[in-house]
Copies of this chain bind each other. A is one copy, B any other.
């Protein structure tokens, strides 16, 4: 039985105790391993860290022994801190068994009621009125199939290549920041699950774990393909180091994000203040509240270079060690065309999951816009799309319309709630859905897909077919 006074005596980096939920821990040896950085813990050294701890970690984490996180014993009952957020505890519910999860939406619904409010806010939020986020999904729902029947499809094959690299499925796990918020293993668990199921994982610049740890958690760089997502740092030298490290770790391509040099206004994220700073192990970005609110996404983007422009592509190539470059966040046919001219190897049509600019176009509209305006783009680079993809049917539709592959983001974050097993389980679900779709459409391997298998009439009239506006020809004029 310890008193608060006992605890207070251990408040230095060399001897650090904290209390969580009425239990005393010696975390001295854990400090250097903390994914959120040692400073985060040290600000609670010798004191109660319950509130901070609970706002950012999964409730079940304490049940798992962590190396260096030593349980000393209970705090004296009379000493229990009174400010504990009981409401938070009550609301977090236990997770149902993984085998009852049968689709991507199940993972999302479970995350909403089992993860901490801040994690949910950060992952699920999108820009302002959420219109683009909803439109992303709706666009897929409005495309109908034209299924061909009476084809022998006893065997179907979902394998393909992305940038020339083999993959078991025509999608990659899209890069998302701070995966450690939902599961302490974060990107490491994703790498393991992705390796087991043979899908490609893109590691974020804002990864919770160092790239080398992520890669080594899977099958290793020889046996498993990883790509790097890149935010260019205002301190360009840091970007040079990051790219060198990525190359050294065996990453195979660089996806440069071009639609989030600043973060969108994600209001659910802003509204929820955090009690504790969060730090990325890769970029070093740290987020905390400011006067605009507690927007983790916004605060993590502060180091991103807003001067980035087309001419910088030459520089990125020069420091990327020969890795293929892909631009993530293209939203118009004209920028797709520019990407060709600047010689990149691929583009991801994306509105950042609706998180950047509300009423920005769903990637499916941009895909169709390119077909209308610059179809030759498809001959020069690979085109991927992301945003709103939740079903095997969605994946198949994108492929029919010329995408080489798609990116899947939030669903994998929510699946990570179950660790590497969740990652594998979601991948199996999507594979099963994709195979069913292929069979139902009369297709046995992905080289057979073609646009005649889908009916896009419901959205065709919403897609622009020229670079300018069809009839508004206004140009700036002199003022009165």
Contact = CB atoms under 8 A, between A and B. Distances in A.
A436 interface: yes
Q: Name the prevailing secondary structure of the A interface residues.
A: loop
A471 B372 contact: yes
A143 B359 contact: yes
B441 A468 contact: no
Nearest to A478: B379
A295 to B, nearest CB: 9
A267 B258 CA distance: 38
Contacts of A372: 471
Nearest to A452: B468
Contact of A450 (B265, B382, B461, B474): B474
Contacts of A267: 102-103
- Size bracket, chain A contacts: 35 or more
A361 B149 CA distance: 13
Contact of A265 (B149, B401, B433, B457): B433
A179 interface: no
A296 B151 CA distance: 24
B472 A456 contact: yes
Interface stretch (A4-12, A79-87, A205-213, A305-313): A305-313
A345 interface: yes
A393 B472 contact: no
A440 interface: yes
Contact of A391 (B129, B164, B378, B433): B129
A134 to B, nearest CB: 11
A451 B473 contact: yes
Contacts of A264: 436, 440
A314 interface: no
A113 interface: no
A154 B330 CA distance: 19
Contacts of A338: 150
A306 B338 CA distance: 46
Contact of A307 (B152, B261, B454, B463): B152
Nearest to A382: B480
Nearest to A151: B309
Contact of A145 (B271, B307, B357, B447): B357
B361 A146 contact: yes
A42 interface: no
A102 B293 contact: yes
Contacts of A441: 357
A248 B372 CA distance: 58
A440 B259 contact: yes
A309 B150 contact: yes
Given A393-B357, A476-B447, A147 B332 contact: yes
Contacts of A128: 103, 391, 393, 433
Interface of A: 99-100, 102-103, 128-129, 131, 141, 143-154, 161, 163-164, 258-259, 261-262, 264-265, 267, 270-271, 291-293, 306-310, 312-313, 324, 327, 329-332, 334-335, 338, 345-346, 356-361, 365, 368, 371-372, 375, 378-379, 381-382, 391, 393, 401-402, 404, 432-433, 436-437, 439-441, 447, 449-452, 454-458, 460-464, 467-477, 479-480
Given A154-B307, A163-B480, 4 more contacts: A144-B365, A148-B334, A150-B313, A360-B440
8 contacts: A147-B331, A152-B308, A262-B440, A264-B436, A357-B436, A365-B455, A381-B480, A457-B464
